[in-house]
Amino acid sequence: MRPIIKTIIITTGVSLFLIYSGYLYSHLPRGEKPLNTLADQGKMNWQKYNCGACHQVYGLGGYLGPDLTNTYSKKGADFITALLKGGTPVMPNFHLDDSTIHTLVSYLKDIDATGKSDPRTYTINSDGSIQQ
Ligand code: HEC
């Protein structure tokens, strides 16, 4: 292959890469919905008690327990509070105090408002990104 053709192919490839990367980074869904402070504390408690070892949020995490992304809208705050207070035969009771439980419920409420766990509900755009 002649060197000029190689140069054209490489230059075109690099240019397209840079243009597409620039487009993607300028359209990041940044700052659309910041976590509120209660949900922030809930996230810290989520990490402290390692809930993610058994549960997924946004589809990421452990697989022993169910995905919790939309548990808040499906089952409600009272159900989550009762479950966290008592545990179940397959989920440990962490003996959390009421305020810790309150932050975790707030975190799950925030997660619920910002994502869907079911990938079948996504629409794939022509540029490969997804829309909920
Ligand atoms: C050792 C694994 C494990 C850990 C750690 C764990 N869970 Fe669970 N969790 C489960 C399992 C298993 C279930 C299903 C319970 C059942 O069906 O009886 C569950 C169920 C739940 C549910 C009810 C979900 C639904 O849709 O019914 C919630 C809410 C929940 N967990 C929250 C938490 C939170 C918050 C933490 C951290 C404080 C946590 N879990 C830590 C295993 C775990």
Query: Which residues form ligand 1's pocket by a CB distance below 6 Å?
Result: 49-51, 53-55, 64-66, 68, 71, 75, 80, 83-84, 88, 90-92, 94, 104
Q: Which atom of ligand 1 is nearest to the CA of 88?
A: 18
Q: What is the pLDDT of residues 56-113, one digit of tens each?
A: 998 899 999 999 999 999 999 999 999 999 999 999 999 999 999 999 999 999 999 9
Q: Using 50, 70 and 90 to split pLDDT, how confident is the model at 5?
A: very high
- Domain limits of the chain? 3-30, 37-120
- The CA 11 to ligand 1 mean position distance, Å, reads 52
By most ligand atoms within 8 Å of CB, the mutation choice from 41, 43, 48, 54 for ligand 1 is: 54
Whole-prediction pTM value?
0.77
Residue 32's pLDDT is 64
Which of 32-41, 42-51, 70-79, 86-95 is least confident? 32-41
Q: Which residue, chain included where needed, has tokens 């409600």?
A: 76
Which contiguous run of DSSP H or E holds residue 57? strand 56-57
How many other C-beta atoms can be found within 10 angstroms of the C-beta atom of residue 72?
20
Q: Superfamily assignment of 37-120 in CATH?
A: Cytochrome c-like domain (1.10.760.10)
Residue 112's pLDDT is 94
Above pLDDT 70, what percent of the chain? 95
What's the chain's average pLDDT? 91
DSSP 32: S
Residue 91's pLDDT is 94
What sign has the CA pseudo-torsion 92, 87, 80, 36?
Answer: negative
Q: Which atom of ligand 1 is nearest to the CA of 89?
A: 18
